[in-house]
C-alpha cells in the first residue's frame, strides 16, 4: 500500500487539475491566518470570513486554501512557501500579526508573488521599495487612527494625557504614532506605562498614571486584555476621558468591560457601526451586507472588525483578477502573478467594509480618512459619535 501511495496522490492531484481545466480557469488564493496562539481572536474571525469571499469572478473560479500559523512568524513563512509550491497560489492573503507579515514580505519578493497582509503595522508596506513592491495591506495604518484620537483630544481641550499600552510591538508602535501625531500640538504626554497581554493586575501602573493627573488617558491594547486598565482606572476613581485603540473593537471587549466602558472613545473601521453610518457613506451598504452574511453563518453579534480586513483583501483580489486576465496571462503562471500585482497596485475606488481603497505605486495601503470613524460606548453598545466625526 505504502508503495502505491505516491501514485495515488499523484493521480488524485492530476484528476483535480483536469477537473479544474474542464470547469474553466482557477485562480488559487493562498490564505495564512493566525487561528491559534496569541492573535487567535483576530485570526478566527478572518478565517471565518474566507467562507464568505467570492468564489467566482467573471468566468474564472477562485479557490481559497487556508493554513494556520499559530501566530508564529516561522510557521507563517513555511505556510506561505507551501501554498506557493504545493497549491500553486497566484496571490497570498495573510497573515494576521505584524511579525509574520514582515517575514512573509521577503518570500513574496523572492517568489515574485503579490501578498495582502491583514496586519496593521505601516512597516509592512512603507516605503514601497525593494521587497515591499509585492506587499499590500488592508487594515488602517496606526497613524490614521492616532490622528483621529489626537483630533478628539484637541476638541475636548485636553492638555496633559497619560498612555498605557501593551509591552509589545502593538503598544510600542502606538506610542510612536501618538508622539508623531502630537507633534506641533499643545498636548503633552505626562505618563507612559506598559503591561503585558496575559497580566492579571495593573494596579501599580494605574496608580502611577493617576498620580500624574492627566486630563485623558489612551489605552493601547487589543481584545479583552484592553479592558483590564479600563476597569482599574474606573475603580480607582479616574474621572477624565479614556480613549482606546481600534484593537479593542470587538463585542467580547464590551462584554468584559461592562459599565466601566461607558463613555470611552475609540477610532475604528466603519464596519462596527455600519448601520449607523449616514446614508451617503459608501461603506454603509458593504458593511451591512457583510455583517448580515457573517452573522447568518456564525451567530448574532459575532461580527468583528478583524474579519472585515479579510473581506477587504478578498474584494481587492476580486477587483484585480479581471484586470490581470485582460493582459492575457493564464492563472498559475509567473506572468499572471506579475499582472495581478500590477492590477492590485492600480486598484481604484474599491469599496470594502473598512474604507475605500485607492492604491498607487507610492501607497500600498490605499485607505484615506473615510476608513476611520470615532465611536463612543453608550449603554454597552458602540455608537457613531456624531459630534466628533
Q: Contact between 46 and another protein (CB under 8 A)? A: no
Give the contact letters, 201-230, x = binds to another protein (CB under 8 A), - = no.
xxxxx-xx--x-----------xxx-xx--
Q: Contact between 200 and another protein (CB under 8 A)? A: yes
Count residues near another protein (CB under 8 A): 32
Longest CA pairwise span in the chain (Å): 76
Q: Contact between 295 and another protein (CB under 8 A)? A: no
Contact with another protein (CB under 8 A): which of 6, 198, 278, 299? 198
CB of 234 to another protein, least distance (A): 13
- Indicate the SS3 state at residue 117: strand
Which residue, 295 or 369, is less far from another protein as judged by CB? 295
Which residue, 148 or 164, is less far from another protein as judged by CB? 164
Which residue, 13 or 207, is less far from another protein as judged by CB? 207
Contact 320, 333 (CB under 8 A): no
Phi, psi of 268 (to 5 degrees): -155, 170
- Alpha carbon distance 11, 205 (integer Å): 62
- Alpha carbon distance 215, 105 (integer Å): 41
CB of 371 to another protein, least distance (A): 25
Which residue, 260, 192, 213, 191, is CA-closest to 232? 260
- Alpha carbon distance 160, 295 (integer Å): 41
CB of 199 to another protein, least distance (A): 8
Q: Contact between 44 and another protein (CB under 8 A)? A: yes
- Alpha carbon distance 174, 219 (integer Å): 10
- Alpha carbon distance 214, 162 (integer Å): 6
Which residue, 32 or 371, is less far from another protein as judged by CB? 32
Alpha-carbon distances, residue 187 vs 25, 88, 160, 198 (angstroms):
57, 52, 6, 31
Contact 382, 275 (CB under 8 A): no
Question: Grid coordinates representing 371?
Answer: 476608513
Q: Contact between 40 and another protein (CB under 8 A)? A: yes
Contact 161, 215 (CB under 8 A): yes
CB of 260 to another protein, least distance (A): 10
Place of cell 487567535: 40
Task: Quote the strand ranges of 97-240, DSSP E.
Answer: 115-117, 135-137, 160-166, 188-195, 216-220
Q: Contact between 41 and another protein (CB under 8 A)? A: yes
Stretch that binds another protein, among 83-91, 102-110, 195-203, 343-351 (CB under 8 A): 195-203
CB of 42 to another protein, least distance (A): 8
Where in 111-170 is the site for another protein (CB under 8 A)? 167
Helix or strand (DSSP H, E) at 91: strand 91-94
Contact with another protein (CB under 8 A): which of 20, 73, 109, 256? 256
Which residue, 36 or 133, is less far from another protein as judged by CB? 36
Which residue, 96 or 141, is less far from another protein as judged by CB? 96
| Sign of the Cα pseudo-torsion (102, 104, 105, 106, in order) | positive
Q: Contact between 272 and another protein (CB under 8 A)? A: no
Q: Contact between 193 and another protein (CB under 8 A)? A: yes
CB of 291 to another protein, least distance (A): 19
CB of 142 to another protein, least distance (A): 20
The neighbouring-strand residues paired with 193 are 164
3-state helix, strand, coil in the chain (%, to 5): 50, 20, 30
CB of 146 to another protein, least distance (A): 21
Contact set with another protein (CB under 8 A) = 36, 38, 40-41, 43-44, 167, 193-196, 198-205, 207-208, 211, 223-225, 227-228, 250, 252-253, 256, 258
Amino acid at each position: 500500500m505504502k508503495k502505491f501511495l505516491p501514485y495515488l496522490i499523484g493521480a488524485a492531484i492530476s484528476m483535480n487539475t483536469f477537473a479544474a481545466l474542464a470547469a474553466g480557469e482557477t485562480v488559487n488564493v493562498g490564505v495564512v491566518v493566525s487561528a491559534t496562539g496569541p492573535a487567535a481572536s483576530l485570526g478566527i474571525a478572518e478565517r471565518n470570513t474566507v467562507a464568505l469571499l467570492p468564489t467566482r469572478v467573471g468566468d474564472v473560479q477562485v479557490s481559497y486554501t487556508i493554513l494556520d500559523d499559530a501566530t508564529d512568524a516561522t510557521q507563517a513563512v513555511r505556510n506561505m512557501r507551501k501554498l506557493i509550491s504545493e497549491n500553486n497560489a497566484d496571490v497570498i492573503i495573510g497573515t494576521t500579526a505584524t511579525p509574520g507579515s514582515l517575514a512573509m514580505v521577503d518570500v513574496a519578493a523572492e517568489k515574485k508573488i503579490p501578498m495582502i497582509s491583514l496586519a496593521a503595522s505601516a512597516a509592512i508596506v512603507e516605503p514601497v521599495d525593494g521587497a515591499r513592491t509585492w506587499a499590500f495591506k488592508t487594515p488602517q495604518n496606526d497613524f490614521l487612527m492616532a490622528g483621529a484620537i489626537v483630533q478628539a483630544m484637541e476638541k475636548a481641550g485636553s492638555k496633559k494625557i497619560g498612555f498605557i499600552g501593551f509591552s509589545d510591538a502593538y503598544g510600542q508602535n502606538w506610542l510612536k504614532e501618538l508622539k508623531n501625531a502630537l507633534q506641533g500640538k499643545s498636548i503633552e504626554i505626562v505618563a507612559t506605562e506598559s503591561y503585558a497581554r496575559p497580566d492579571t493586575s495593573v494596579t501599580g501602573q494605574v496608580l502611577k498614571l493617576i498620580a500624574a493627573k492627566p486630563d485623558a488617558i489612551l489605552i493601547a491594547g487589543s481584545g479583552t486584555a484592553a479592558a483590564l486598565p479600563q476597569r482599574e482606572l474606573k475603580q480607582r476613581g479616574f474621572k477624565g476621558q479614556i480613549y482606546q485603540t481600534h484593537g479593542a473593537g470587538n463585542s467580547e471587549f464590551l462584554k468584559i468591560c461592562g459599565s466601566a466602558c461607558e463613555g470611552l472613545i475609540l477610532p475604528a473601521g466603519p464596519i462596527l457601526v455600519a448601520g449607523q453610518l449616514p446614508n451617503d457613506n459608501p461603506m454603509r451598504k458593504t458593511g451591512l451586507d457583510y455583517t448580515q452574511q457573517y452573522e447568518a453563518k456564525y451567530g448574532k453579534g459575532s461580527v468583528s472588525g478583524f474579519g472585515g480586513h479579510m473581506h477587504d483583501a478578498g474584494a481587492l483580489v476580486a477587483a484585480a483578477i479581471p484586470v490581470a486576465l485582460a493582459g492575457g496571462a493564464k492563472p498559475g503562471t509567473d506572468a499572471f502573478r506579475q499582472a495581478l500585482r500590477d492590477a492590485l497596485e492600480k486598484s481604484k475606488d474599491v469599496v470594502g467594509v473598512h474604507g475605500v481603497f485607492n492604491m498607487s505605486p507610492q501607497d500600498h495601503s490605499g485607505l484615506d480618512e473615510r476608513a476611520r470613524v470615532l465611536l463612543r460606548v453608550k449603554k454597552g453598545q458602540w455608537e457613531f459619535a456624531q459630534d466628533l466625526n
